[in-house]
Amino acid sequence: MTHALSRRGVALWLVFAASLAVAADGARAVPAAEVEAAPVAEEQYDVIIVGAGMAGIVAARMLTDAGLRVTVLEARERVGGRLVALQVPGGAIDQGAMWIHGGEAGNAVYDAAVEANLTLSPRQNYGSLTLFDAQGARSSPASYLRAYTQLNSRLIPQMAALRATPGAPDTSLAAEYSAFLDSATLSPQQVDQANVIMHTRWQALLNGNITRLSVLRLNDAKVLPAVDVMLEGGMPALADELAQGLDVLLDTVVTGIEHSADLVVVRTEGGETFTAKHAVVTLPLGLLKSGAVAFTPALPEEKAAAIDSMGYGLLDKAIFVFNTSFWDTGSDFLLREMPDWSGRWSVFLNYQKLFPSVKALVAIHVADTALALEGMSDDEVVDEGMAVLRQMYGPDVPEPIQTSVTRWAADPFSAGSYSYFAVGNPRNMTRALAAPVGRLLFAGEATSDKPASVLGAYLSGVREAERILTLRGDGNYSYGLAPPSVEAALQAAG
Ligand SMILES: *[C@@H]1O[C@H](CO)[C@@H](O)[C@H](O)[C@H]1NC(C)=O
Ligand SMILES: *[C@@H]1O[C@H](CO)[C@@H](O)[C@H](O)[C@H]1NC(C)=O
Ligand SMILES: *[C@@H]1O[C@H](CO)[C@@H](O)[C@H](O)[C@H]1NC(C)=O
Ligand SMILES: *[C@@H]1O[C@H](CO)[C@@H](O)[C@H](O)[C@H]1NC(C)=O
Ligand SMILES: *[C@@H]1O[C@H](CO)[C@@H](O)[C@H](O)[C@H]1NC(C)=O
């Protein structure tokens, strides 16, 4: 496997060095004896990886390949974390992460998939839409296009101007978008159309509510349109491939992590302890927020504050598989105009467009709406979705042959879907999430400079593996990796 990241300039490392040195000193203040007195397993590892999602697997792969003694503790009964797929007639449907954003050669996840001989889909075409109004009648693309043009010519420059103003206070997308609606000349239906454009472009993409999404950070995680592709057979195949031969303990729920200047002790629900020189914590941000894993000593204030304030969203899917496709199979998405900002049954992804043998529509819900749907039974969700599809395509729409409803918020090992920049989050908040704390290192999408993506998770795993491999065994953390793209962005942002 080749890795996209290479070592960076020494000057950049030094910029990052100061905060790391502080973190290491902070940990050193803990009496080592306290930790060493704990009943420890016979074996001491070089590195314990907490979590076998993409970040954990990649870090484990690199460190294992480098000859270190590595074990991965995974709470679930499988590897892959938020990469999981439903087997359906004709193929598979990703229930978690599904798009490789920026899916072209040079993207580490894309390259890893190609190297693993996995089949990639054609590109998702975000311009290929079939539109319905809020009552399910077919809608005029020309009218939609006018709403789109107004949004592009007024809202986008309005927000760009805000971002270009030094020291401008952050505000929510809802505030800016409301101001746009007030000032634009849109018919009532065009407002519904603008709502669905807003929703697909930001709420659904970033898995956050419009009232919480940061305007200053709106383009800092990911943007549409993008070059996005999927994996035939689903994303888990990539995780499985990269995890081959690793020492992974499944069904092993970590409940506590103790760390000192000398070692790390990881405790599990089953009462086991594992000790190592270092641990790479790849817990989803939602689990760090919920305090499901106790850190002793507690994480430093800056880290704890970043965990609290960084946005963490929810994206759920309702999957409908049919015997026959009755919908506009040439469109990538079926969109229903929105009289409100809920996005309830507004976005259906036509899976068959990218995978012709998979006759399925995947409804995408985010944020509060997704959470509300999680409170309903599968049958209630499916019935509601089918009623909407029958509004759109008539009463003869057949019953689905298979359905599945995801519940990422209720999932105890993810507690939501992925991170986003909430109002007030600085761009370098991901750096605070990434900062080592003594012998604890942190990886996962939320710690990366490309948050909210599998690529970010992957690169964060590479980053922490390189951090450990750069150590000379003396616990000296006075170095760091500083991806230049973000350094440049941070400098540009002042
Ligand atoms: C991918 O295919 C090539 C060519 O058939 C083969 O040499 C290689 O071992 C395969 N890699 C994997 C990971 O299966
Ligand atoms: C779907 O097709 C299968 C095989 O032809 C058939 O047995 C089944 O009854 C069909 N289901 C529905 C809901 O039409
Ligand atoms: C976002 O919050 C607003 C205000 O509470 C609500 O009306 C809307 O339905 C929410 N949208 C989503 C996608 O959660
Ligand atoms: C983020 O930037 C702020 C302001 O420049 C700085 O005080 C803080 O130390 C930075 N945090 C990290 C983790 O780089
Ligand atoms: C840690 O490593 C840095 C970079 O190599 C070096 O400048 C520094 O003196 C080292 N500190 C200690 C305490 O060994």
Q: State the Cα–Cα distance between residues 368 and 28, nearest whole angstrom.
A: 42
Question: Mutation test of ligand 3: which of 178, 210, 213, 420 has the most ligand atoms closer than 8 Å to its C-beta?
Answer: 210
Q: State the Cα–Cα distance between residues 489 and 466, nearest whole angstrom.
A: 23
Q: 1 in ligand 1 pocket by Cβ < 6 Å?
A: no
Query: Do the annotations mark residue 74 as ligand-binding?
Result: yes
What torsion do the CA atoms of 412, 109, 430, 51 make, to the nearest 10 degrees? 30
Angle, alpha carbons 162-15-305 (nearest 5°): 60
- The alpha carbon of 16 and the centre of ligand 5 are apart by a number of angstroms equal to 13
Q: Which residues pair with 280 in a beta bridge?
A: 49, 441
- Atom 1 in ligand 2: which residue has the minimum CA distance? 323
SS3 73: strand
Query: Do the annotations mark residue 43 as ligand-binding?
Result: no
Specify the amino acid at residue 60: A
- Atom 4 in ligand 3: which residue has the minimum CA distance? 211
**CB atoms inside a 10 Å sphere around CB 441:** 26
Q: The tokens 């970033």 sit on which residue? A: 206
Q: Which residues pair with 435 in a beta bridge?
A: none
Q: 116 in ligand 1 pocket by Cβ < 6 Å?
A: yes
- The alpha carbon of 1 and the centre of ligand 1 are apart by a number of angstroms equal to 12
Domain boundaries, the chain: 10-80+235-311+416-492, 128-224+315-407
| Residues within 6 Å of ligand 5 by CB | 476, 478-479
- The alpha carbon of 430 and the centre of ligand 3 are apart by a number of angstroms equal to 25
- Atom 5 in ligand 2: which residue has the minimum CA distance? 323
Q: Which of 211, 237, 230 lies closest to 202 in space, CA to CA?
A: 211
The pLDDT of residue 42 is 53
- Kindly state the tokens that stand for 108: 């580490």
The pLDDT of residue 261 is 85
Tell which atom from ligand 5 comes closest to the C-alpha of 476: 1
User: How buried is residue 438: exposed, middle or buried, by Cβ count under 10 Å (0-12/13-18/19+)?
Assistant: buried
The pLDDT of residue 262 is 85
Q: State the Cα–Cα distance between residues 414 and 406, nearest whole angstrom.
A: 12
Transcribe 429-471 into DSSP letters. Answer: HHHHHH--BTTEEE-SGGGSSSTTSHHHHHHHHHHHHHHHHH-
The pLDDT of residue 32 is 35
pLDDT tens for the 494 residues of the chain, in order:
333 322 222 222 222 232 233 333 333 333 333 334 444 445 799 999 999 999 999 999 999 998 899 999 999 999 999 999 999 999 999 999 999 999 999 999 999 999 999 999 999 999 999 999 999 999 988 989 999 999 999 999 999 999 999 999 999 999 999 999 999 999 999 999 999 999 999 999 999 999 999 999 999 999 988 899 999 999 999 999 999 999 999 999 999 999 998 899 999 999 999 999 999 999 999 999 999 999 999 999 999 999 999 999 999 999 999 999 999 999 999 999 999 999 999 999 999 999 999 999 999 999 999 999 999 999 999 999 999 999 999 999 999 999 999 999 999 999 999 999 999 999 999 999 999 999 999 999 999 999 999 999 999 999 999 889 887 555 444 333 333 344 554 454 44
In CATH terms, 10-80+235-311+416-492 corresponds, of 3.40.50.300, 3.50.50.60, 3.40.640.10, 3.30.360.10, to: 3.50.50.60
SS3 330: coil
The pLDDT of residue 469 is 87
Query: Do the annotations mark residue 75 as ligand-binding?
Result: yes
The pLDDT of residue 29 is 34
- The alpha carbon of 323 and the centre of ligand 2 are apart by a number of angstroms equal to 6
Question: Mutation test of ligand 4: which of 14, 216, 428, 433 has the most ligand atoms closer than 8 Å to its C-beta?
Answer: 428
- Supply φ then ψ for residue 430, to 5 degrees: -65, -30
Query: Do the annotations mark residue 77 as ligand-binding?
Result: no
Q: State the Cα–Cα distance between residues 277 and 473, nearest whole angstrom.
A: 9
What torsion do the CA atoms of 33, 269, 81, 296 make, to the nearest 10 degrees? -30
Sign of CA dihedral 477, 482, 486, 492: positive
The pLDDT of residue 288 is 98
Question: Mutation test of ligand 1: which of 117, 231, 238, 241 has the most ligand atoms closer than 8 Å to its C-beta?
Answer: 117
* CATH number corresponding to 128-224+315-407: 3.90.660.10
DSSP classification of residue 356: T
Specify the amino acid at residue 319: I
The pLDDT of residue 30 is 33
Kindly identify the ligand whose nearest atom is closest to the C-alpha of 364. 3
- Kindly state the tokens that stand for 364: 């995408």
- Atom 9 in ligand 3: which residue has the minimum CA distance? 342
- Atom 7 in ligand 4: which residue has the minimum CA distance? 428
Q: The tokens 């898995």 sit on which residue? A: 207
Q: State the Cα–Cα distance between residues 176 and 181, nearest whole angstrom.
A: 9
Tell which atom from ligand 5 comes closest to the C-alpha of 479: 4
Q: Which of 221, 209, 163 lies closest to 430 in space, CA to CA?
A: 221
The pLDDT of residue 1 is 34
Tell which atom from ligand 2 comes closest to the C-alpha of 400: 13
pTM: 0.87
